[in-house]
Structure 1
């Protein structure tokens, strides 16, 4: 992979701004839709079950293509892949905004998810290449982390404003001018890289196997709450997804030009940090989903009030991840920071699990959100630095795709499990004679308590598996070594 050689400090930070702006637009779109779903349902006549596909179509395409897109960035150049994905995302946003039928909107959302995956999969790899020095890299990843976490919370607020002031169509139309500005800036300010060439990894069969496995796995997870986690359909589709994944791994171990060189998973930190990150997000994703439901159905908040309620998370993450996280990582090490931060997240989820029916925002919600902000603002940058430190420059696009895939799959699996547990508990309490509000609150409590346990497990694994970043640094393989590993 060709490395930037003529970058000035200012131009590198400007390039980071462009990449983070593109990432923010994509992250916002993952949450902004949730607030507008009732309006879409009324306007286009969705049933309750079919409405879920407005979200699921995006997530299936996004989760299924991340790994492939990350590797394509290594092969043909990350700037080229980023710009192609951004263009597809802009066109699909226009298509979504113009949708006048259920089918048109769902198909457009699938295409939009594909564009989001293609562009976002290479962003982290580009950041690591731009900032090879540990201190600057830590600060840059902190900014990236803030954009990701803060954007998720801000999307709820922006979705409420646009839907309430205009129509649901504008949550998609707003992407077009923003995306065009990012595209123009990206074309001018991002340095081109050539990639290592398709001949180094143009494995079409492998690409089909991994994409099919991830898309089927995403579909299975997203339908688990409807079909049941222990249903024959869920288990059967899950096993088929695992068989496709096993076939892909076997293919990569024997193919002459594999899509993915499996040697990157020999890095203890890369594999371990991704495992810990997946568990962390499996638990932490619940604070937006179950937290929004608690605020709406138990405390009676409006969509706009829900968006405002989650702003402290974004503010806290912003205050920590942009500057303080890099200094703490340098002072105490990423593993120590990650472990302590995960304990903050677990505490925040446990506090939400104790929120009562007659709870108040200031006493029962805000302290938990601040804990989540502290934990997320410090844990995410530390884990990303550890995961990316295990990749060589020519593998950083793939490592970026693995990291993004871990986040999406971890969050989806966690959400499916926690939503199912919450629903099951609610139904049990209703059968016992509890009123609807108390039953809902009981369901959310068990969901948050389970999420807290998942994050505690992540903290334990981080303590046992992860190592200081220096031990995972590996030299760039020589051509001979690369050929052998391939």
Structure 2
């Protein structure tokens, strides 16, 4: 019997089971235990159909496409609104702070409630939570395209972020519980993440086009997409399995502490560039967030049915996946922010020209992500993530010497190609590693954890880069310091990934049985 580690990838697609290699630590649980009595496990027939030894049927493909549509919609919405911000500011006469909160309101609702959304999906049913959240998302999109008041517009963005905090972990955990761990799930996650990248890339271009007609269309365009998903999802996604065993209690104190802590933390991060990192309000917010999160950990240690089982956080490969998620989102969104400002404000490029400059990266992610599952099967998630961060670091470093009269093919395109390669490799493999060896009953919270890491990492580095731009007074002066931060974050991600490849490998691993 072979016992490959997570970083070396699963063995051949034969009869497979999950084992622990090395000593089992306190708080860790055999991944097989998670399915027992959870009431959220995919039916056995469905999981058998998803086996890597069996070709997917039309129902499974339909389920995957619907879930891909949810992630496509998220990416489309976020990128379209970003392109439309200057037009929104001009039409509604918004201050810089109000304009920032159109983006930050979404991030606050999304990042603050992801842990709660993931656990609610585990306990109440992933299909049910997905459909409810998507309904709220659709309604908020419609209202956002009709309002004329800045406060109401920000409120709709916050509500959309809240809705996405429930749909995102629900959709991802439906994928991970429908397709068996190993080659089948890796292939499904590769396709799933490719749709997210396609949505983001499409949103950049469509946002530029829609803004020419009117910024309200950037809010209204997602409505028919969401309505189509709502119409087809109930037919294709299987109903949540009946609960087996006693009904689990919801950890209300833990949920309140975690949600409050994450809301305060995300708000502190997005407000810091405006209020100042050393301002009493900022420092006080960080102290309050730390206290609330410490309270959350204490509650989880003492409750029999916690919101987040702390054993998950003691798993090395899951911890590394969440750190990789923070670094991936942080370096990418920090780069995107400063690069878009440089291209539009300093070089005078239009929103459409800027979107087209980023398009090669999006195309690589859209088409390259679908092949990552095979690479993970062969080399393991750890090595693929390490190569992704090497590509990120090289790409950002190449952008450092850019001047105010660059040639696109020489000064910009190589960076976009490397960033695209990094994201195509890193995003799906990070999601795979974050849910590897986790029982079905905890796939929602594992999905919520990694998506929270993406949001917190992105918001934190974006806030640092924004503060650098503000302090320098001009984008040209801020460009190199900001890029140095972004490159450093990518280098840290590479160090963490290499540490996982070279270090302790005693984690839950897939094994083959001869």
- Alpha carbons of structure 1 residues 390 and 242: separation in structure 2 relative to 1, 3 Å: farther
Larger mean Cα displacement after TM superposition, 151-160 or 451-460: 151-160
Cα deviation for residue 30 of structure 1 reads: 1.5
Cα deviation for residue 199 of structure 1 reads: 4.5
Pairwise mapping of residues 448-463 of structure 1 onto structure 2 (< 5 A)? 448-463=483-498
* Structure 1 segments (4+ residues) deviating >6 Å: 467-470
Q: How big is each residue's C-alpha offset from its partner over 1:313-343, in whole Å with a ceiling of 9 and x where there is no partner?
A: 11111232112x1222122222111112210
**RMSD (CA atoms):** 2.0
Q: How big is each residue's C-alpha offset from its partner over 1:116-163, in whole Å with a ceiling of 9 and x where there is no partner?
A: 111112221111111114112111111222223333333221111111
Q: Is the 8 A contact 1:200 1:258 kept in 2?
A: no
* Alpha-carbon distance in structure 2 between the residues aligned to 1:408 and 1:199: 31
User: What corresponds to 1:478 in structure 2?
Assistant: none
Q: Is the 8 A contact 2:315 2:507 kept in 1?
A: no
* Alpha-carbon distance in structure 2 between the residues aligned to 1:84 and 1:469: 40
Give the TM-score normalised by the residue count of structure 1.
0.91
Pairwise mapping of residues 189-268 of structure 1 onto structure 2 (< 5 A)? 189-194=236-241, 199-268=247-316
* Alpha-carbon distance in structure 1 between the residues aligned to 2:305 and 2:507: 29
Pairwise mapping of residues 326-405 of structure 1 onto structure 2 (< 5 A)? 326-405=373-452
Q: Is the 8 A contact 1:201 1:259 kept in 2?
A: no
Q: How big is each residue's C-alpha offset from its partner over 1:226-265, in whole Å with a ceiling of 9 and x where there is no partner?
A: 1122322211101101111111111111124322222222
Q: How big is each residue's C-alpha offset from its partner over 1:4-26, in whole Å with a ceiling of 9 and x where there is no partner?
A: 33435232121111011011111
* Alpha-carbon distance in structure 2 between the residues aligned to 1:75 and 1:271: 23
- Alpha carbons of structure 1 residues 44 and 235: separation in structure 2 relative to 1, 3 Å: same
> Unaligned stretches of 5+ in structure 1?
428-438, 476-486
Number of equivalenced pairs: 461
Cα deviation for residue 444 of structure 1 reads: 1.5
* Alpha-carbon distance in structure 2 between the residues aligned to 1:90 and 1:395: 27
Q: Give the 3-state SS of the residue equivalent to 2:180 in structure 1.
A: coil
Q: Give the 3-state SS of the residue equivalent to 1:121 in structure 2.
A: helix
> Unaligned stretches of 5+ in structure 2?
1-39, 50-55
Cα deviation for residue 371 of structure 1 reads: 0.4
Q: Which has the higher helix share?
A: 1
Give the TM-score normalised by the residue count of structure 2.
0.86
User: What corresponds to 2:158 in structure 1?
Assistant: 110
- Select the structure with the greater relative contact order (CA < 8 A; seq sep ≥ 6): 2
Q: Is the 8 A contact 2:276 2:282 kept in 1?
A: yes
Larger mean Cα displacement after TM superposition, 186-195 or 82-91: 186-195
Pairwise mapping of residues 39-438 of structure 1 onto structure 2 (< 5 A)? 39-164=87-212, 166-194=213-241, 199-323=247-371, 325-424=372-471, 426-427=472-473
* Alpha-carbon distance in structure 2 between the residues aligned to 1:406 and 1:387: 11
- Alpha carbons of structure 1 residues 331 and 470: separation in structure 2 relative to 1, 3 Å: farther
1:443 to 478, 486, 489: 478
User: What corresponds to 2:507 in structure 1?
Assistant: 471
- Alpha carbons of structure 1 residues 474 and 136: separation in structure 2 relative to 1, 3 Å: closer
* Alpha-carbon distance in structure 1 between the residues aligned to 2:110 and 2:242: 23
Cα deviation for residue 65 of structure 1 reads: 0.9
Q: Is the 8 A contact 1:61 1:110 kept in 2?
A: yes
Cα deviation for residue 465 of structure 1 reads: 3.0
